Chains A and B, each alone.
Chain A
Amino acid sequence: MIARAATWWTVLRISLEERLVYRGDFALGTLMRFLPIVTQIFLWAAVFSAIQTSGAENQRIVGYSYRNMIAYYLLTMLSRAFSSMPGLASGIARDIRDGTVKKYLIQPIDMLGFLLLYRVAHKLVYYVVALAPFALVFYLCRGFFDGWPDAFTISAFLASLVLAFLLGFFMEATIGMLGFWFLEINSLLFVYMLFNFFFSGHMFPIDMLPGVGGSLVRLIPLQYLAYFPAAVFLGKLSGAELVRALWLELAWVAFFMAASRVVFSRGTRRYSGYGG
């Protein structure tokens, strides 16, 4: 047990050190990622000013005031910092294709566990380095927020972020391991990224989607990757509704955790490694 914990600790430490090599690049990259927010702020200011002039009674868009809307975009940046998994699925598929995946099969180490720890290390370093740019941007944009929500909402928000990380990880890992069957999953991944971008709430709050499409999008788990944590912070859900949504998110995490295990065991059974 202790030996095992030591192994995992070593994996985490090595990954941490590896990530810290590129810290300068990281910090600059993080700050640059906020630039598109600037255009979003102006775009929504223009949209809301037009709504105001048109004399519409309700100067909100599906319950979002201008300030809410900007706060929403800032918060989705935070959710994405937890849920996005750059290179995870494509990396797994590449390992399967070029045979690197063999190392997980012959070494006494669990692939999903290793990748999860690697990702945790990646994220931890990211938060340490990105803390300053995030703090700066949120401080500059504090006027868009109505102050801190209560402790219950904050804990729910933090829980939703951790769950978003786990959901993002297991969902992408599952997709990546479909490479055991298809070898090349780029097109599939593209579809996933496209849907992820638009229907996770990264592009706009998904409550804006009307009709059947809107209801459908609210059924699929993508919303937990960007929309949900932001909506929790902004108090769009509360009380029993919020707790129920968190349970549902946990269920999705459990589902994809199980799915990734099933896909892994089925996949390795049909995997054939050739050459050295």
Chain B
Amino acid sequence: MTQHPRYLRVFLTFARNSLVRDMTFRANFIIETISSLSWVLMNLGFYTLIFHYTPEIGSNTGWEKYQFFVFLATGLLINSLVQALFMTNADDLSELVRTGTLDFALLKPIDTQFLVSLVRIDWSSLGNFVLGLLLLAYSLAKLHYLPGLLEWVLYPCYVLCGVAIYYSLMIALASTSVWLGRNLTLFDFWFYITNFSRYPMEIYEGRFGTPLRRFFTFLIPVLVVVNVPARLLVAPLRPHAPEDWLLPGFAIFATVASLAASRWVFQRALLSYRSASS
């Protein structure tokens, strides 16, 4: 009888082990949480400063101060989840390849991608998640807006879609270390690419902006990551007409396609893997 590993239980064990590890170095954990929080707070300060000088971002786009803060909060939620779940692991992948430790992952009776993607969870990044929730609640209160049932259901789903798209990109880029070898990995590119999704998609306009927007919506769909969930909660941008649902519909497709593509890249990378030690 073959026994399938119970993925949820394995994941919970990873989560528990990582928490135990984090709690062993408690001072370090607190410092890391404070560090990442202070970066975010400084960034918030920067955007507050921008709105000191302008009423909105882009003329008549609807991204006024608190609408934009809803956008930021959404980005914060998605980024903190990606950081907590996958960032450390994707970062370690090149090291596993270089040292040949990936052998041990390959031998375990569990899906290798699952194992190398989730083995270490960075709990300190969840401080930003809480900050994201607070910022979201604060901005919605300032906008005097209470989301309806549909938004309550769809928003978390689209946040998870965003996490999945970011993850796909990250693991696909990290897998390239199998081909590129020592320390050379396209993983750094992840930060530069996702940088484009930090702002509402309306800002990419004009001769260069429109092609850029299309590229990062349809080819590398990082622009749908934050935009789609954030727009659900922002009054003037909320989908009204049927055609407004095209983008959210596309986001589902983009999520599935990204996951499938990254799975394919990862598997191809494993096929090319030659152990370093033996």
Contacts and interface: CB of A to CB of B under 8 A. Distances in A.
A139 to B, nearest CB: 16
Contact of B59 (A49, A187, A204, A210): A49
Interface string A172-204: 000000000000000100100010011000011
Interface residues of A, number: 30
Contacts, number: 82
Nearest to B213: A42
Given A46-B202, A194-B39, A204-B49, A53 B195 contact: no
Chain B, interface residues (CB within 8 Å), range: 20 to 34
B61 A46 contact: yes
B interface: dominant SS: helix
Contacts of A32: 188-189, 192
Interface string B183-211: 01000110010011011001111100100
Contacts of A51: 53-55
A79 to B, nearest CB: 19
Interface of B: 31, 35, 38-39, 42, 45-46, 49-50, 52-61, 184, 188-189, 192, 195-196, 198-199, 202-206, 209, 212
Given A39-B195, A39-B198, A62-B53, 19 more contacts: A39-B196, A42-B203, A42-B204, A43-B57, A43-B199, A46-B59, A46-B202, A46-B205, A47-B53, A47-B57, A47-B58, A49-B59, A50-B61, A53-B60, A54-B54, A187-B31, A194-B38, A198-B46, A210-B52
Which 7 A-B residue pairs are closest in the complex by CB-CB distance?
A: A53-B59, A46-B58, A46-B203, A35-B192, A42-B203, A49-B59, A50-B56
Interface of A: 25, 32, 35-36, 38-39, 42-43, 45-54, 61-62, 187, 190, 194, 197-198, 203-204, 208-210
